[in-house]
Structure 1
Amino acid sequence: MITALPTSSSQDKRLTKGERTRLQLLEVAAAEFAERGFQHTRISDIVARAGVTQPVFYQYFTSKQAAYDELVGMFSQRLRQAISQARLPDDLKVSELASRIRQGVGGLLAILQEDPNLTRIGFFQVDAAEALKDELVAMIADNVRAEQQAGLFRPEISADWFAQSLMGIIERFTRQTPDAAQQQALSEFITNLLLEGIRQRTAP
C-alpha cells in the first residue's frame, strides 16, 4: 500500500540511505511544486532545499516531470484505494452503517490532510486534478449503486448526484485545512448530513 511521504523525523530507520534520500527528494519536491507550481520549480531549487547535488537527483529521477508524475500518481492511488476500501459489505448491519460511513469519509479527509503539499498538487494544482475527481466520483457512485442493490440505501436516490455532492463537500472542507480534531467532527457532520438530512424530524 502506498503511504504518505514521511518527514525526516518519522523516516523508517530500516530504509537504506539511498531510499531515505529518494524520499527526502520527493518530500522537498512536493513542497517546491506546491509553493512555486510545476513550471516555476527548477531542479536546482529542489536539490538546494534537500541539501544534495543535481547528480544525486538524477540518480533517482530522470527529470523534474518524472518526480512530479510520481507524486501525483502516489496521491491519486491512495485516494482510489481509500474509496475502494470504503465500499460497504452487503451484509452490513444497520446499526453499523453510520460508523462505517464515518470511517470512510474520515479516511478520505485524512489522506487529503496528511500532506498538504501533495494535496495541493494532486487535488487542486495539476491539470489532471479535475479528471481525477471525476474518476473518484464515478467510483463513489459505483459503490453507492452496489450498496443500494444490497438494500442499504434508498433506491430512488441518484448515485451519481450523491457522489458529486460528497466530492463537493470534501473538496470544500479540504481547502480549509482542518486539523485532526476538526477532521473527526467533519466526518461526523458529513455522515449525519448525508444520512439524516437537515429537515426537522417529526414527533412519533
Structure 2
Amino acid sequence: MPKGRKVNSSGEKSKKLLLEKAIELFSTNGYHETKISDIVKAANLTQPTFYLYFQSKESLYKDLIEQFQNNFFEIVHNDLENKPSANRSFIHNIKEALVNIFTYFAGNLFLTKIGFYDSVEAESIKEKFALALSDKLQENQEINFSSEIEVKIFADMIVGAVERLTLTALFTELREPEQLAEDIVNIYFISQKELVR
C-alpha cells in the first residue's frame, strides 16, 4: 500500500483550508496585496504547511485561474454543444448555459471575482467565451441576423451582459441565476422568445 496522506486526513483538510483562504484573500485584497503569511494566518496554519502543498503564491494563483477556467468552459461547452431537437431549441441551450454559468458564479463568488474579473487571464477567458458563443450562433439556423450586425459583436454584447449583471445583480443577490438567464434571453433573443419556453 502506498504511503501518503489519506483523502480525508488532516493534511487534505489543511490544503482545502489554505485554498479557501487564498481564494478569499486574493479576491478581497488582490494578488499583489496578498502574502503567503496572510493566507497561513487566515487558515491558522504555518508557512511550512503551505509549502507542503504549493510551490509558491504564484503557482497557487495560477492553479486557481486554471480551475476557474476549466470549470467555466466545461459548462459553456457542455450546454452549447447539445444538439437542438424537437423539444430543445438552440436558444434553450443558450439559456441553460447562462443559468449554469450564473449558478457556478454564485456558488464560487470569490473564485469568479479572481478568474472573470481580476486576473490577467480574465480578458482572454471572456474573449474565448465570446468566440465559442459566436461560433455556435453562426452554425445555428434558428437565429437570423440582419446584415447590420456582426455575430461576434452580438456575442460580445451577451458576454458584456453576463459580466455586468454578475456584479450588479447576482453578487448583490438582486436576481437568481434563472432570472438573469431569462432576462438576457428575452433581451437578446426577443423575437425567438417562444422557442425558449
Mark yes or no: TM-score above 0.5.
Answer: yes
2:120 paired residue number: 127
Structure 2: distance between partners of 1:59 and 1:99: 46
Deviation at 1:70, TM superposition (A): 0.8
Q: What root-mean-square deviation, in Å, do the aligned CA atoms of Structure 1 and Structure 2 show?
A: 2.3
Aligned residue pairs: how many?
182
**Paired residue for 1:170, among 150, 162, 169?**
162
What TM-score does the superposition give when structure 2 sets the normalisation length? Answer: 0.82
Structure 1: distance between partners of 2:75 and 2:172: 19
Counterpart AA for 1:161: I
1:1-204 aligned at under 5 Å gives the runs 15-93=8-86, 96-146=89-139, 148=140, 151-154=141-144, 156=146, 158-176=150-168, 177-179=171-173, 182-196=176-190
For structure 2, which runs of at least 5 residues remain unmatched after alignment? Answer: 1-6, 192-197
Structure 2: distance between partners of 1:131 and 1:47: 31
Contact conserved, 2:35 with 2:57, CA < 8 A, in 1?
yes
Over 4 Å off, 4+ runs: 94-98
For structure 1, which runs of at least 5 residues remain unmatched after alignment? Answer: 1-13, 198-204
Identical-pair percentage: 27
Cα displacement string for residues 127-152 of structure 1 (whole angstroms, at most 9, x for unaligned residues)? 22112111111111122222x2xx22
Contact conserved, 1:113 with 1:178, CA < 8 A, in 2?
no
Structure 2: distance between partners of 1:140 and 1:19: 38
What secondary structure sits across from 1:87 in the alignment? helix
